[in-house]
Amino acid sequence: MGTRLTPEQQQQVAAQRGESRPTRRATVPALEEILFEPLAVLDHGFIRVIDYMGDDGAIVQAARVSYGRGTKKTSEDRGLINYLMRHRHTTPFEMCEIKYHVKLPIFVARQWIRHRTANVNEYSARYSILDNEFYLPAPEHMAAQATTNRQGRGEPLSGAAAASVLDLLRKEAERAYHSYAELLNEDMEGSPRDPTRPGLARELARMNLSLNFYTEWYWKTDLHNLLHFLELRADPHAQYEIRAYAEVMLGTLERWVPMTYAAFLDYRKNAALISAKGLAVIRRLIAGEKVEQADSGLSPREWRELMALLAKPEAR
């Protein structure tokens, strides 16, 4: 993973990982283990856990407004966390907080930022110069427009078609960066590369970069809002590129708050919201009645979705 960082960055990460200090706060050894390490996502991106506050016990503590650590027996804590998740008592989950450093393509950042209840500090292309790093989809993720769904991908492109798309995307990104550098007319020290002409202000030059260039940010959120993010973004309906990040974050969630993670899978991620009309259909089916879409009260699309849900034996 470290290969995604420059040697200097690797050194900085290693320095932080080498430090250890005593604290009276709750700690989570499984999360400490990966602290600061870049977890690879896509071709040049990463997720790094930078800091965290609280653990499963902190949720219990807040729910009980207790004076001590809040935990009684593990089984009682688990029961309480399940109860809170099931009944959407969300405020105790807000008592935990996590901070990530993320490197991600701009078009992914544009989807991500729509989650407003988080704190963000992004690398500024007004102040600084962006690196020459852009996202190119792996061939297996290059797909045609879905035909059944106006949003989303259909079949993967054939090898030749994918190669041709890839080639075009790469050439265009390289050209965009080349022109960006020419517009800036700055070397690494900020001196003009070509002293016979002025450079363009950074805040303007960046407009020539395309949406697959990478940006970086610090992103901090509470656990409740993280779960909401993951429910939407680790979902098959989410665009693959943001889902790739959400799935790595799911792994950090499991390390951090394992009881909450398990409850989240059962009561949120793999649960289903069934409409009043859908419940009526289910009741009839259980009673052994034969139900058809036409007399179900459901639209054809809702009917298909419900039938798919009731058919699937595997975890979604």
Scanning residues 47 to 86, which ones bind its own copies (CB under 8 A)? 50-54, 58, 61-63, 65-69, 79, 82, 86
- Which residue has 């993010």 as its token pair? 229
Among 39, 100, 104, 212, binds its own copies (CB under 8 A): 212
Scanning residues 14 to 43, which ones bind its own copies (CB under 8 A)? 15-17, 19-27, 32, 35-36
DSSP bridge partners of 216: 103
Asked if 82 and 267 touch (Cβ cutoff 8 Å), the reply is: yes
Q: What angle do helix axes 240-256 and 223-233 make, rounded to 10 degrees?
A: 140
Scanning residues 172 to 201, which ones bind its own copies (CB under 8 A)? 172-173, 175-176, 179, 182-184, 186, 197-201
Scanning residues 250 to 269, which ones bind its own copies (CB under 8 A)? 265-267
Among 95, 226, 227, 249, binds its own copies (CB under 8 A): 95
**Number of residues that make up the chain:** 316
Among 100, 214, 217, 245, binds its own copies (CB under 8 A): 217
- Give least dist CB 194 to its own copies, A: 11
Q: Which is nearer to its own copies, 112 or 248 (CB)?
A: 112
Query: Which of helix, strand or coil describes residue 271?
Result: coil
What b-and-e string marks burial along 14-41, b requiring 16 or more CB atoms within 10 Å of the CB? eeeeeeeeeeeebebeebeebebbbbbb
**Separation in Å, CA 22 to CA 12, 33, 99:** 21, 16, 20
- Give least dist CB 251 to its own copies, A: 18
Q: Which is nearer to its own copies, 94 or 247 (CB)?
A: 94
Q: Which is nearer to its own copies, 44 or 99 (CB)?
A: 99
- Give least dist CB 182 to its own copies, A: 7
Amino acid residing at 140: E
Asked if 93 and 134 touch (Cβ cutoff 8 Å), the reply is: no
Scanning residues 292 to 311, which ones bind its own copies (CB under 8 A)? 299, 302, 309-311
Query: Which of helix, strand or coil describes residue 52?
Result: strand
Listed in sequence order, the residues at least 6 apart from 77 whose beta carbon sits closer than 8 Å to its beta carbon are 56, 57, 60, 71, 259
Position 127 contacts its own copies (CB under 8 A) = yes
Binding segment (CB under 8 A) for its own copies, from list 10-18, 243-251, 252-260: 10-18
- Give least dist CB 128 to its own copies, A: 8
Q: Count residues contacting its own copies (CB under 8 A)?
A: 141
Q: Which is nearer to its own copies, 123 or 258 (CB)?
A: 123
| Residue of 233, 268, 304, 316 with catalytic role | 233
Dihedral over Cα of 96, 102, 108, 113: its sign: positive
Active site residue 110: no
Binding segment (CB under 8 A) for its own copies, from list 162-170, 244-252, 253-261: 162-170
Task: Point out the residues that are catalytic.
Answer: 233
